[in-house]
Structure 1
Amino acid sequence: MFQFEKISNELLRRIECPGTEKHYKVTLCNGLPKFTPEVLKDNSSRFSVMIETFLPIAERIKKMEVFKDDVWVITFPKCGTTWTQEMVWLLNNEMNFERARKLSLEERFPFVELTGALSLIGGDSVSDIVRLPKPRHIKSHLPVMLLPDQIWTVKPKIIYVSRNTKDAATSFYHHYCNIVGYDGPKEHFYEAFLSDNLIYAPFSEHVLDYWKLRNEDNVLFITYEQMKRNLRQVILTVSSFLEKSYNDQEIDALVGHLSVDSMRANKSCNMDALVEWARNTNYSDARKKNDSNEFRFIRSGKVGSYRDEMNQEYVTRFDDYERKMTIGYSFDFNF
């Protein structure tokens, strides 16, 4: 079903590190399943870049049983995933803030391909999903071509979140440094991103395939920028999509709970344990000794944070990347 082709080039070699190494081009040999929505049947050849630890779980995910009452939150990495997960879980669980505080987000909303996306993490993230009590809440960064086949027949609810390319790349760079163990310059990371030499690449096809699905009854497409501009309205939209209804006081409480400061202070979803694991596992000896980094998994939470770090040359190149990927589409990252 899948073809795995090991890839190695200068751009990849410069960003490979303990958390992501041995990259492969993953191709779906016979294309998307015949029961995939017509909007995706464009005769294009789809591939995704993944790492070696994904290979043993690719078929298991593809054949995984899916249930109608599953809720999937899917994003390209660092596009508002944690923020959206917490919102969705609370909306779908009668605003049970007490239970949300007792159980970590990883327990409530596990990451299906985790063991195939982060080297050295251990465990079996696919089995963790299979064992989840229903209704299941599932996080993923997978492109449409790597999702379970039953997604297209069972049609669980899918919420996809996109983010403008420059902020996504900048946030992903910090993730690579502080979770994956990357010690190189951001320019090398940007080059890998722009040339589709990065785990989960290509970014353009990842976003656009889910954009094409936006009119499917079981798919909701939202953006990080919408959430920042009017979180309350997005909450109402997601609540309606989940077929839930809450009063103004309950919505106000959720808006406050989802503020950046509140999320950073929330031990159930601020991923402090993952950050500490990364420091002990993925950092070089020199970095372990000298690191005085105050990195938080929930970082700036701003739109346009790239302006503090990206020079004009890369701003122009990322703008060109966005322009090329959206030619012929009504899609705009900042709508």
Structure 2
Amino acid sequence: LSNMDNKLDIYRRELVDVQGVPLFWSIAEEWSQVESFESRPDDLLIATYPKSGTTWVSEIVDLIYNNGDAEKCKRDAIYNRVPFMELIVPGMENGIEDLKKMQSPRLVKTHLPVQLLPSSFWKNNCKMVYVARNAKDVAVSYFYFYQMAKLHPEPGTWEEFLGKFMTGKVAFGSWYDHVKGWWEKRKDYRILYLFYEDMKENPKREIQKLLKFLDKNLPEETVNKIIYHSSFDVMKQNPCANYTTVPSFDMDHSVSPFMRKGISGDWKNKFTVAQNEKFEEDYEKKMKGSSLQFRSEI
């Protein structure tokens, strides 16, 4: 088999359930590697449901760790500075192996729902930052991401994809379970729970929360520098942050750029009135009894 044939056969495959959560087939096959991942006590875990500001908060935290030195943060692409722990694709990437080679303190990215996180993170009482974004914007962003990132199955039409999203039949499972699961867990562990909409509205305030959580003191001018270098427009132009360094057979930016709009409320350009009504009704049921509150626009 030529290399290209191999590449074709890893893409657009159906998701595989791991303990009831749909994941990429390659993660499911190597699940034992993920499960037995050894965290270190000084690891910082960045956990999100996909398309919720993962890359954004990763860039902010890396800037904090490097005292606002933007040049240092251009030492490598964001996915190498903050490896995606559970992402394993045979012959292409292995987040677990990448992390093993990294010096401490490590930044670790995960999209796993709380119940699938390797137990060593709880055992080591690692600090964790969780970012949540409103469901409607996530659904739209995820739809475009499915189109361009070919490890996902075909998304189908927007209507079809929205149905899958609502029933949790997408990679990393149900958004509703994900945000609620991590929200509950924050009561017992060192988890800073942030909201994408709050970060958009007032990045300075949210970065201050991060600094406090990480026991870091930075002068005001450094904080302002971090705000500037982590802004959407600057990150979108930064090859170390915008994923354009990923080969196009893997992520096709001509279909949709990885960093598409980075705004709140874009769902209004995609949802029909009927879809929105149906979504809202279903949302009420699924989020009933949770103290979590989201804003679908700012």
Q: Offset of 1:186 from its aligned partner?
A: 1.1
Distance 1:258 1:124 in 2: 27
> Residue type matched to 1:60 in 2?
Q
Q: How many residues align?
A: 286
Distance 1:169 1:19 in 2: 21
Are the equivalent residues in 2 in contact too, given 1:19–1:179 (CA < 8 A)? no
Report the secondary structure of 1:228's partner residue.
helix
Give the 3 Å change call, closer, same or farther, for CA 121–274 of structure 1 in structure 2. Answer: farther
Are the equivalent residues in 2 in contact too, given 1:72–1:156 (CA < 8 A)? yes
Distance 1:121 1:228 in 2: 38
Q: Percent identity?
A: 27
2:139 equivalent among 143, 156, 169: 169
Q: Offset of 1:163 from its aligned partner?
A: 0.8
- What's the TM-score, normalizing by structure 2? 0.89
Are the equivalent residues in 2 in contact too, given 1:178–1:275 (CA < 8 A)? no
Structure 1 position 260 matched with structure 2 position 232: yes
Distance 2:155 2:137 in 1: 20
In the other structure, the counterpart of 1:229 is 201
1:201 equivalent among 173, 190, 193: 173
In the other structure, the counterpart of 1:122 is 92
Distance 1:122 1:219 in 2: 31
> Residue type matched to 1:24 in 2?
V
2:109 equivalent among 139, 145, 148: 139
In the other structure, the counterpart of 2:282 is 321
Q: Offset of 1:275 from its aligned partner?
A: 6.1
Alignment of 1:172-187 (within 5 A): 172-180=142-150, 182=154, 184-187=156-159
Alignment of 1:1-335 (within 5 A): 19-27=11-19, 47-115=20-88, 122-180=92-150, 182=154, 184-274=156-246, 276-278=248-250, 293=254, 295-334=256-295
Distance 1:139 1:54 in 2: 15
> Residue type matched to 2:119 in 1?
D
Report the secondary structure of 1:333's partner residue.
coil
- What's the TM-score, normalizing by structure 1? 0.80
Distance 1:18 1:143 in 2: 24
Q: Offset of 1:183 from its aligned partner?
A: 6.4
> Residue type matched to 1:134 in 2?
S
Report the secondary structure of 1:212's partner residue.
helix
Give the 3 Å change call, closer, same or farther, for CA 200–162 of structure 1 in structure 2. Answer: same
Q: Offset of 1:121 from its aligned partner?
A: 7.4
Are the equivalent residues in 2 in contact too, given 1:179–1:274 (CA < 8 A)? no
Q: Offset of 1:55 from its aligned partner?
A: 2.0
Are the equivalent residues in 2 in contact too, given 1:167–1:303 (CA < 8 A)? yes
Q: Offset of 1:235 from its aligned partner?
A: 0.3
Distance 1:294 1:261 in 2: 20
Distance 1:87 1:50 in 2: 27
Q: Offset of 1:124 from its aligned partner?
A: 2.2
> Residue type matched to 1:310 in 2?
F
Distance 1:88 1:127 in 2: 22
> Residue type matched to 1:187 in 2?
E
Render the CA deviation track for 1:60-97: whole Å, top value 9, x for unaligned. Answer: 12111111110111111101110010001111222221
Distance 1:121 1:95 in 2: 35
In the other structure, the counterpart of 1:36 is none
Are the equivalent residues in 1 in contact too, given 2:66–2:72 (CA < 8 A)? no
Distance 2:155 2:86 in 1: 24
> Residue type matched to 1:122 in 2?
M
Report the secondary structure of 1:198's partner residue.
coil
Segments of 5+ residues of structure 2 without an aligned counterpart are: 1-8
Report the secondary structure of 1:215's partner residue.
coil
> Residue type matched to 2:215 in 1?
E
Q: Offset of 1:308 from its aligned partner?
A: 0.8
Give the 3 Å change call, closer, same or farther, for CA 84–20 of structure 1 in structure 2. Answer: farther
Report the secondary structure of 1:276's partner residue.
coil
Render the CA deviation track for 1:195-240: whole Å, top value 9, x for unaligned. Answer: 2211111221111010012234511101111111111100000111
Report the secondary structure of 2:261's partner residue.
coil
Distance 2:75 2:14 in 1: 37
Q: Offset of 1:122 from its aligned partner?
A: 2.1
In the other structure, the counterpart of 2:4 is none
Q: Offset of 1:18 from its aligned partner?
A: 6.2
Report the secondary structure of 1:158's partner residue.
strand
Are the equivalent residues in 2 in contact too, given 1:159–1:221 (CA < 8 A)? yes
